[in-house]
A and B are shown apart, each in its own frame.
Chain A
Amino acid sequence: MMSLSETIWAVVKILIMVGFLFNVGGLLTWLDRRQSAMIQDRIGPNRAVIKVFGIEFRLGGLLHPLADGVKFFFKEDFIPPRGDKLLFAVAPILVMAPVLALIAVIPFGDKLCVDDLWRTTDTGSLLFPAVPRYGSCLIPVARGGIAAIDLQVASLNVGILYVFALAGQGIVGAALAGWSSDNKFSLLGALRAASQMVSYEVTIGMSLVGALMIYGSVRMGDMVRWQGDHAWGIFIQPLAFFMFFMAAVAESKRIPFDLPEAESELVSGYFTEYSGMKFGMFYFAEYMEVVTSSMLLVTIFLGGWQLPFLHRDGLTIDIGTWRALQLPMNHLTVTAIQVCTFFGKVLFLCWIQCFVRWSLPRFRYDQLMKLCWRILLPLSLANILVTGVVYLLLDHAGPVLGNTLQMIGDLTQAVVAIAITYFVLSIVIGLIRPTRRTSWVVGSTAKLAQRFGGTPRSPRMQA
């Protein structure tokens, strides 16, 4: 049985993950609109407003997800009279629930030693101890300490297989939704969804084999630790990363893989007949899938919670045998940084996925299937073979090559560190730098509006 503290910790972890997923899922609907507006030279969402003491708050359109949610709940509920009512009801639940449950095995931080976070000394002041890089906590369980806690809802030994099992459920939901809707567009959408997701499921499975061979484990925590000690998965399995990324986008059914719901072809695809929040559940599940697929990518290929050179005992920059810097840090700081790193990386990948969505057109059905079966599947088979041969060759090559590899691994870490620093710096600079807005005003109406000081609540126009 679970002890009380274990139960509490499980609930806390579930709250963190589900809370993150929910909020970021909602935030992504805003990001998608805001980002697309920026790409497309539009103003973007700015209509939802909240009034506090007569002052209007718009928060750059951040209230829109909220307004959408409220609106969805109070929309008319529609059930097609000739459809299958039970399956019609089950479908949105079947789409949404697995996405939420899927995050159970994703670790968002290293093992947490609760007793070592802080300690009160005899004089009453707080002390923040550091823990060793490898090994257990300072106070072992035998001496009355609490066992180290995995920052992961359920540390299952099946790990990634659990993810596959649950991700597969989404297909059922989509197929049922289309089938029970009593609508031909839905039916076609469902067929497309089923064949697309089923096909890319194979790619997802096969592309990861190479990575699993190297990590030697299906536990997500072990994968992340391996990447921290050696090099990130994207450097070791670049091909697998891109294949998995592609397949993950295909599973979340977003452009360029949004054929099942291609608006210009199938109206809304398999959820054409859904209204209100029932439609919202499909819509929201899609955004949450973006988050979960980002989490998976981060965990398997982008080093999970790892930041380059940041270990459990602090910051240590080692390039091969040369130690450039050592900065011990306490356990609390390290854990906090690592958890933030994980969520930061997830947000970054979500951003990339939104970027992809607004830059590409969509495939045609036959092109999509060809890409999967004729290109990705043979490639993933080849990837397995090449990985196997190269790995075994390197494994038997001797210590000199081993040291060189470790050196290369450290260098990739350095490259990542530089890239992250550059990225963060450019974000900060971009936020600080004042923006200059210019717009092209010629038309009479625009000139008239400009003469009266511009239209209200729009940036002043310059002719």
Chain B
Amino acid sequence: MEPLDTELEDGALELPSDPMHLNMGPAHPAMHGTVRIVLELSGETIVKADVQIGYLHRGFEKMCERGTWAQVFPYVDRLNYVSPMLNNVGYALAVEKLCGIQVPERCQWYRMALGELARISDHLTCDGAMAMELGAFTPFLWFLKAREMVWDILEEETGARLTHSFGRIGGMARPPTDAFAEMCHGALGAIINIVEEGEKMLLNNRIFVDRLENVGKISGADALSLGWTGPCLRASGVAYDIRKAHPYLKYDEVDFDVPVGKSGDTLDRFLVRLAEIRQSKRIIEQCLERMPKSGPVSVDNPWVVLPEKEAVYTTIEATIQHFKLIMEGAKVPAGEVYSYTEAGNGELGFYLISDGSGTPYRVRVRPPSFLSTAGLGGLITGRMISDVVPTFGSLNMIGGECDH
């Protein structure tokens, strides 16, 4: 007689079942930034995943070619709309590199402080949203409360909460307000308190850690070959931070650490972002300390910098200067340049070509999210549907950057 319990090979017991095709997105609660993932499911397991971007499309790079160099600033605001200030600064640095302009010291510190504030808001949003999509709504709203403090400061400084358009070629639109340092000190302490509270709530929670650990794992080599940068790459153990590797502004003069993960899973990406919030706080504090209390924030170069508003109304020279800069744009010498900064999600590069006129000939953006989203399909294949949510959240894909 045959034994009932024969040792079968793996999968031999599995009855044939059809794969189920499921569209996740573009109109899906977790797919912020309108991504569409076409999933092929077996039970709850993802057999094949096809990530499709492009539902948010504006022709960003083409739009840049029809205005002046300064008119690109509002567009870069809408690249990574969670940390617009970093894009502003990145673009301003690129144009200045092409023009060969060095902004005054005060402006450099100011740009760093504002940029790090934006980085805090970016990381808070990413980590909070990730927790929320796992069902932990409360830490998300706490993190948003902290982000609100950042935005309050940015609003006070720039006049706008989200799309600041605050950068200028050769400086910033306005000097820092008198209360800037005081506001930052007040907010940073409160933000760190909130982050610690949220951390306690999430990281002491077995469910949360289990949901993230060993999910969406990627090795440092794989991440590099996909072109990842920023927190996602650092979580995989590669300590590459442009602020350290190729310092710009005054990053070589401030003291900060680059947090690096070990295993490259979703939990590491979450933790790296939290650690970077603390490092940003350190940087901002040093900036505030070393930023000159007075002095110009823009270069003294009438060819690129707008004159004082008062002077425009009272003197003919300023009126003409204003007219030329607005109507024709600042003349950027012909040539090409690639300039890159560390944005919220990694290397934000601008490749600019100028033909010597007041209008950019070509603006090519190297957005960090575009490349990290390319790795999403590989990370979720073979996992379960539920794993899509934290993996996608931890990559912090921003629709505006994937406009290609």
Contacts and interface: CB of A to CB of B under 8 A. Distances in A.
Q: Do A and B touch (CB < 8 Å)?
A: yes
B29 A366 contact: no
Interface string B162-203: 000000000000000000000100010010000000000110
Given A265-B30, A367-B210, A442-B149, A360 B386 contact: no
Contacts of A321: none
B254 interface: no
A185 B135 CA distance: 18
Interface stretch (B77-85, B117-125, B151-159, B324-332): B151-159
B152 A265 contact: no
A76 interface: no
Chain B, interface size: which category? 35 or more
A41 B384 contact: no
B134 interface: yes
B28 A267 contact: yes
User: Which of B41, B132, B133, B202 has the largest number of chain A CB atoms within 10 A?
Assistant: B133
B145 A41 contact: yes
A258 B22 contact: no
Interface string A344-376: 000000000000001111111111000000000
A308 B385 CA distance: 49
A363 B30 CA distance: 16
Nearest to A442: B152
A364 B387 contact: yes
B98 interface: no
A361 B131 contact: yes
Contact of A365 (B44, B159, B205): B44
A75 interface: no
Interface stretch (B136-144, B218-226, B349-357): B136-144
Interface string A430-447: 000000000011111110
B338 interface: no
A440 B190 contact: yes
A3 interface: no
A361 B152 contact: no
Contacts of A39: 138
A184 B22 CA distance: 7
A255 B138 CA distance: 12
A188 B386 CA distance: 12
B20 interface: yes
A109 interface: no
Contacts of A443: 151-153, 155-156, 161
A365 B152 contact: no
B207 interface: yes
Given A263-B29, A367-B210, A444-B156, A360 B149 contact: no
Nearest to B140: A40
Contacts, number: 106
Contacts of B134: 264, 361-362
Contact of B30 (A184, A264, A364, A444): A264
A256 interface: yes
B211 A364 contact: yes
Contacts of B29: 263-264, 267
Given A256-B135, A262-B135, A263-B29, A364 B384 contact: yes
A192 B385 CA distance: 12
A388 to B, nearest CB: 31
A446 B161 CA distance: 12
A264 B211 CA distance: 14
A365 B210 CA distance: 12
B138 A40 contact: yes
B156 A361 contact: no
A363 B156 contact: no
B249 to A, nearest CB: 25
Contacts of A188: 20, 22, 41, 44, 385
B362 to A, nearest CB: 37
B386 A36 contact: no
A402 to B, nearest CB: 40
B208 interface: yes
A267 B388 CA distance: 13
B131 to A, nearest CB: 7
B112 to A, nearest CB: 20
A71 interface: no
B211 to A, nearest CB: 6
A41 B141 contact: yes
A442 B183 contact: yes
A342 B385 CA distance: 42
A265 B207 contact: no
Interface in A224-257: 255-256
A178 to B, nearest CB: 13
A184 B28 contact: no
Q: Which 4 A-B pairs have the closest CB atoms?
A: A362-B135, A442-B152, A443-B152, A361-B136
Given A258-B135, A265-B386, 15 more contacts: A40-B142, A188-B22, A259-B386, A264-B135, A359-B136, A361-B135, A361-B136, A362-B134, A364-B386, A365-B386, A440-B187, A443-B151, A443-B153, A443-B155, A444-B155
11 contacts: A184-B22, A264-B29, A265-B30, A265-B385, A358-B138, A359-B201, A440-B148, A441-B152, A442-B187, A443-B151, A446-B152
Interface of B: 20, 22, 28-30, 41, 44, 131-138, 141-142, 145, 148-149, 151-153, 155-156, 159, 161, 183, 187, 190, 201-202, 205, 207-208, 210-211, 384-389
